[in-house]
Structure 1
């Protein structure tokens, strides 16, 4: 991790923005992000994670038209991240030729450092009928450390999180739209991914009602021990916590799970 002058630092103030995504309202949702990033910046935030498909929601009928706004949305987020000296991550609809993707953009102080197309599409909600799945993982070096990206349903696939950690991620950022009936899974799986990989996890969920779905919020920031450093309730808000990288190194030394792995028996990844 590095501070504003590029010198090494052991602590990072990081946060999640949680809000009710207005279906199809790109400008209205963008204004919520403007306000939220400003609030995080006032509290010293250097890393911000936004929910899944935060600009418009899963407005499938109009998604191609809404995705056409994404390049301008990313430009606006880049300008905001530069203004606030911040890394901003969040999922948006991406149009590439005739294909639509659910893509998380990583913007570091005005520069797009990478984008990750969601690998696991949630078939029970027909995501696979409207969107194409990605084929690559992403871990990127940023001004605040080495970050891996995941999106919502990816949380159920520990192989992805292990891959990101093997590739050097110290922090994994997850954008989500995770509804109420599976709240207990959200709480268990976010902690499990943090504990088993000894990484910080920032999980930004949305809140409020969209059509027939009710979202519970509970955006979370977890330590490599699985401790809940910060957790939202069910209303729009910002949550922040301090990530202590030295404490992460100390914990990995105390519980040397990485050293004690047996890839010779069960394979390099699993």
Structure 2
């Protein structure tokens, strides 16, 4: 029997540096979700927008948001993921949480901090990739600027889904579209990209372009409006693509070093 994964992409505007307001707004948006959704994907820094002023955010807000994610996951009986400003071990991180309905939580800290905005000077970069096994799918979640670095995303573990959460601005949206398609094709995996929409207090405009691509780079859903869209992924599709086109068998071997 085919394994299926129904995913909800939450393409939303964000209230600048106001975690409580964003949690409340997202809770409203999640209220209308169908009961059969398996995974909810929120944007990068979904409680604040892409702020380079983490000191403006109370250090208690990270744990509060994680508790909120656990509550939402339990109530919706769906995993929920997205990144947020998180203070841990005396440093700030851009940290993604993947929270399952039973409270199981996996963590990924953004590897490639965005030097153009000075993110590298404010947030501590991670150095470990995350692979989540959920409902029969292997999922590799990454964050925004990570998209520009194909070696970091290379499918060496036979994951089924490559997932990016982002605050990707309008002037470079062509790169977002092109690189997501490239990542799906070269890794023969579903590629999910969830971007925010609207404007932030730094003067950046975000056009959305949240998308799901199949294992051949074909577009399944695409959005430029503020909305929640759903799509169903099929494990059988990935197997069929890889059985027919055995390109991953010819991938280069390499070891990542610090």
TM-score range, shorter chain: over 0.9
Verify: 1:27 aligned to 2:20, yes or no.
yes
Q: CA deviation at 1:61?
A: 3.1
Aligned to 1:185: 175
- Which TM-score applies when normalising by structure 2? 0.93
- In structure 2, do the counterparts of structure 1 residues 63 and 57 end up closer, same or farther at CA, with 3 Å as the change threshold? farther
Verify: 1:172 aligned to 2:165, yes or no.
no
- In structure 2, do the counterparts of structure 1 residues 262 and 208 end up closer, same or farther at CA, with 3 Å as the change threshold? closer
Aligned to 1:159: 151
Alpha-carbon distance between aligned partners in 2 of 1:94 and 1:201, rounded to the nearest angstrom = 26
Aligned to 1:14: 7
Alpha carbons 2:139, 2:160 under 8 Å: kept: yes
Is the partner of 1:41 in helix, strand or coil? Answer: coil
Pairing 1:70-89 to 2, within 5 Å after superposition: 70-89=62-81
Aligned to 1:4: none
Aligned to 2:61: 69
- Which TM-score applies when normalising by structure 1? 0.89
Verify: 1:220 aligned to 2:220, yes or no.
no
Return 5+ residue gaps in structure 1 as ranges.
Answer: 1-7
Q: CA deviation at 1:262?
A: 4.8
Aligned to 1:56: 48
Q: CA deviation at 1:62?
A: 4.5
Measured on the aligned residues, the alpha-carbon RMSD in Å equals 1.7
Q: CA deviation at 1:134?
A: 0.7
Aligned to 1:194: 184
Aligned to 2:32: 39
Q: CA deviation at 1:138?
A: 0.4
Count of aligned pairs between the two proteins: 255
Alpha carbons 1:13, 1:46 under 8 Å: kept: yes
Moved more, 99-108 or 69-78: 69-78
Q: CA deviation at 1:80?
A: 1.0
Alpha-carbon distance between aligned partners in 2 of 1:141 and 1:218, rounded to the nearest angstrom = 26
* 1:119 aligned residue (111, 118, 131): 111
Alpha carbons 1:146, 1:171 under 8 Å: kept: yes
Alpha carbons 2:188, 2:248 under 8 Å: kept: no
* 1:247 aligned residue (233, 237, 243): 237
Pairing 1:104-143 to 2, within 5 Å after superposition: 104-143=96-135
Alpha carbons 1:46, 1:144 under 8 Å: kept: no
Alpha carbons 1:19, 1:206 under 8 Å: kept: yes
Q: CA deviation at 1:110?
A: 3.8
Is the partner of 1:24 in helix, strand or coil? Answer: coil
Poorly superposed stretches of 4+, deviation over 4 Å:
none
Alpha carbons 1:172, 1:201 under 8 Å: kept: yes
